[in-house]
Amino acid sequence: MRTYFVGEEPDEVGEFAGRHVLAEFEGVPAELLDDSQFLRDSLEKALNEAGATVLSMTYKQFEPQGVTVLALLSESHASIHSYPERGAVFVDVFTCGRRADPELAVHLLRDMLGPSIARTNTIQRGQEDR
C-alpha cells in the first residue's frame, strides 16, 4: 500500500498517458553486463527509487554472454538488454501516469553502470486527461 503525502494525488484510474525512456549506454565494464544478479538488483532498486511498483521480474542469462532482464510494473514495464562483448546495454523504461519517474530510473541505472557514453530519448505517449 502506498502512502500519499499532503498535496500529492494518486494517479487517475485509466489515465492514457505516459513517458517512455529509451537509453543506450556504452563503455560499461563487461563483468557488470554479464552479471544477471547485479542487473536485476540494479533495475529493481532504480525502479523502486523512481516510485514505480515492481510486480515481478524475470531474466535470461545467455551463453556465452549477455543478459536480458524484464520488469513488469503496475505502471507498465522496464527492460535491460546487455552486450558485454561490446560494453553496451539497451535500457527501456515505460511508465503510465505521473507517480513513477522513468527518467529518474534511467538516470539511477546510468549511475550504477558508469558508462562512458549515455544516450537517452524520452517519448511522450498517449494524452493527458486534464
Q: Which residues are catalytic?
A: 76, 81, 96
Question: CA-to-CA distance for 105 and 20, rounded, in angstroms?
Answer: 11
Of 46, 41, 93, nearest in space to 67 by CA: 41
**Range list of β-strands (E), the chain:** 17-26, 54-61, 67-73, 76-83, 88-96, 117-126
Of 118, 121, 125, nearest in space to 75 by CA: 125
